[in-house]
Amino acid sequence: MDLYQGCVLAAVIAFLVLVVFAVRTLLQIFRTAEAVEYLALSAAEKVDKTESTFTLLDNVSSFLDSGLFRVAKAGAELVKHFRKDK
C-alpha cells in the first residue's frame, strides 16, 4: 500500500466517522423536537385549565378598581372609626 492509498483510506474512515456523528446528532435533534412538542402540548392544556382562574382574577381586579368597592371600603372605614369612638 502506497501513500496515496493510505490517504484515501484515512479520508474514507474520517468520512464514515463524520457520517456516524451526523446521524447520531440528527437523531438527538429529532428526539429533542418531540420532547419540546410534548411539552408545548401539555403546557397548552394546563393554560386552558387555568383560563377560568385568570378570568376570575380579572373580574376581581375590575371590581377592586370600581367605584362601588371604594364606596364600600369608605363605608367600612367610617363604621370602624365610629365603633372606636364608643
pTM (predicted TM-score): 0.49
Task: Write a three-state SS string for the chain.
Answer: CCHHHHHHHHHHHHHHHHHHHHHHHHHHHHHHHHHHHHHHHHHHHHHHHHHHHHHHHHHHHHHHHCHHHHHHHHHHHHHHHHHHHC
Provide the pLDDT for residue 70.
75
15-19-24 Cα angle (round to 5) = 150
Q: Using one digit for the tens of pLDDT, what is the confidence trace for 47-82?
A: 777 778 888 888 887 777 777 777 777 788 888 877
Rounded Cα–Cα distance for residues 9 and 42 (Å): 50
